Amino acid sequence: MKKLLLLVMIVPMIGFGQNPNYSEDIAPILYRKCLQCHHNGGIAPLTLETYASVVSNAGMIQHVTSTGEMPPWPPDTLFQHYAYENTLSMNEISTIMDWITNGSPIGDTSLLPPMPTFTNSSLLGTPDLELQIPTYTSTATSNSDDYVCFSIPTGLTQNRKIRAIEVIPGNLQTVHHVLVAIDLFFNNSIVTTSNCMGPQGNMIYGYAPGSSPLIYPIDINNSFGVVLPANSSVTLAMHYPEGSFGQLDSTKVKFYFYPQNTVIREITTDFLIQNFFFTLPANHITQVSESFGPTIQDYSFMSVFPHMHLLGKDLECFAVTSTNDTINLIKINNWDFEWQGFYFFQKFIKIPVGSIIYAKGNYDNTASASNPNPVSVSAGLNTEDEMFIFIFQFLPYQLGDENISIENGSISTNIHEATTIYSLRELLKITTILGQSTKPKPNTPLFYIYDDGTVEKRIIID
């Protein structure tokens, strides 16, 4: 048995419990976890790129990090973990706190990590199909958001198997989120729907600032993907936030296909949990629940996408197997319509035959700043209605699926024949403690050095 012992990330630990300083301790956290939105020209109203801007907003930063408001990551990570999770560890939160309490020292600026760069260019290279919304001017006002859907014909004359999807926001400052769905209806030309709280059809991807492209999992034996049917349209459901009035956008979605003869294991998207029969009386908090099952076969679950509208308060969803094991799927303690999307499990989750999936959620229809005159609200698709649905991506289980990683992490992935390589980081070299390059060796501590500047110390115990 090979066991991998990871003694990871020694670097961010330095300074913990001591006197943290900006250059060595704080900037590395902000650069990795905040700047994707908080850079000049990014979606967030505040840039956190410089020491001066961080210091002058220190109180607010301490507040939003200690309450868990920032970075925005709605799922409760004590309940379930996901791929691409962007959260702060307890150490990082207390490092920020200690730094502020100790007068926010700048430290030695020659030790600052390299400033990350943000563009809206593609990480995956030339796509097989690119669809773009017509140039659109946001109608969001200073106190209301703009939700609009564009259904765009693909022009495909045959079915294709999707290998990867990437959304390229036309304007990093206005595109708050984008949901991508395969439209069930055929259109000859682009159809625009305003006041669109969610796309109709098979939802396949959700983008928010800092999102990674979706590359369907692949291993030696399996290629996973989704079929994009001939003559279909693809819907982009756009969310432009308050204050973006008059700004222009022309977001694109890029599709990368498998070679036509690839045998894929097709991932299904389905609204397994949906309740369209509820009413939320004014001035009440109401709980809505629903279940699905028992399941008729073993399934491998890839992701979950919970959806409520503006009165949603919290939600929870889990499966119970026929032998009474509970499998946690998702829990959101503070539902925020602004931050929603697919949450991909770290590996496929096996839901055995005979399981029942349970979901419940609370809606707050009492008076508040955003709901000053509550009226009774019913389930429905419109902005003024509410929804209670959980969309899942899944497929029939095969032995070993639970070991297949969904996050692409450090594995370089061949998107298609065109040799496009995508990787979040690549291994540059392995060295001994003394700095000599070496091959992986058991029972010896070695340093794994990656191109993004991270270093891991590993011992492989044989």
Q: Which residues bind ligand HEC (CB under 6 A)?
A: 33-34, 36-38, 43-46, 57, 60-61, 64-65, 70-72, 86, 88, 208-210, 338
The distance of closest approach from Cβ of residue 27 to ligand HEC in the complex, given in angstroms and rounded to an integer, is 12
In terms of C-beta density within 10 A (0-12 exposed, 13-18 middle, 19 or more buried), how is residue 112 classed?
A: middle
* Least distance from ligand HEC to the Cβ atom of residue 370, Å: 13
- Residue 238 CB, shortest distance to ligand HEC, in Å, is 15
Burial of 57 (0-12, 13-18, 19+ CB in 10 A): middle
- For residue 356, the minimal CB distance to ligand HEC (Å) is 34
What sign does the CA torsion over 165, 171, 176, 181 have? Answer: negative
Amino acid at 213: P
Q: Tell me, rounded to whole angstroms, the distance of Cα 275 from its chain centroid.
A: 25
Q: How many residues does the chain have?
A: 462
Instruction: Pick between residue 113 and residue 352 the one whose CB is nearest to ligand HEC.
Output: 113
Are residues 89 and 217 in contact, defined by beta-carbon separation less than 8 angstroms?
A: no
> Toward ligand HEC, which CB reaches closer, 54 or 377?
54
Least distance to ligand HEC, CB of residue 93, Å: 9
CB of 53 to ligand HEC, least distance (A): 10
CB 46 within 8 Å of CB 57: yes
Smallest gap from residue 171 Cβ to ligand HEC (A): 14
Compare residues 57 and 94 and give the one whose CB is closer to ligand HEC. Answer: 57
Q: How far is the CB of 29 from ligand HEC (least distance, A)?
A: 7
Instruction: Report the residue number, 88 or 180, with the smaller CB distance to ligand HEC.
Output: 88
Let me know: does 446 contact 455? Beta carbons within 8 Å: no
**Residue closer to ligand HEC (CB basis): 219 or 336:** 336
Q: Output 65 or 393, the one with its CB closest to ligand HEC.
A: 65
C-beta closer to ligand HEC: residue 95 or 151: 95
Residue 40 CA from chain centroid, whole number: 22
**Residues 372, 281 contacting (CB under 8 angstroms):** no
Q: What angle do CA 73, 79, 84 make, to 5 degrees?
A: 40
Query: What's the first-to-final CA gap in the chain, in angstroms?
Result: 7
Nearer to ligand HEC, 240 or 392 (CB): 240
User: Are 84 and 344 contacting, i.e. CB atoms less than 8 angstroms apart?
Assistant: yes
Please report, for residues 177, 181, 205, 271, the alpha-carbon distance to residue 201 in angstroms, rounded to integers and kept in the order given. Answer: 18, 6, 12, 10
Closest to 28 measured CA to CA, from 14, 44, 42: 14
Q: How far apart are the C-alpha atoms of 448 and 462, rounded to whole Å?
A: 18
Q: Which is nearer to ligand HEC, 37 or 156 (CB)?
A: 37
44-51 long-range contacts, Cβ below 8 Å, gap at least 24? 44/209, 45/243, 49/115, 51/22, 51/27, 51/106, 51/109
**Cα(172)–Cα(209) distance, rounded to whole angstroms?**
8
Phi, psi (rounded to 5 degrees) for 396:
-60, 140
Shortest Cβ distance from residue 73 to ligand HEC (Å)? Answer: 8
- Beta carbon of residue 112, minimum distance to ligand HEC (angstroms, whole number): 17
Q: For residue 214, give the nearest of 178, 160, 189 by alpha carbon.
A: 178
Is 411:218 a contact under the CB 8 Å cutoff?
no
Q: What angle do CA 269, 270, 276 make, to 5 degrees?
A: 145
Nearer to ligand HEC, 224 or 342 (CB): 342
Give the nearest distance from C-beta 320 to ligand HEC in angstroms.
Answer: 33
Q: Which CB atom, from 88 or from 317, has the smaller least distance to ligand HEC? A: 88
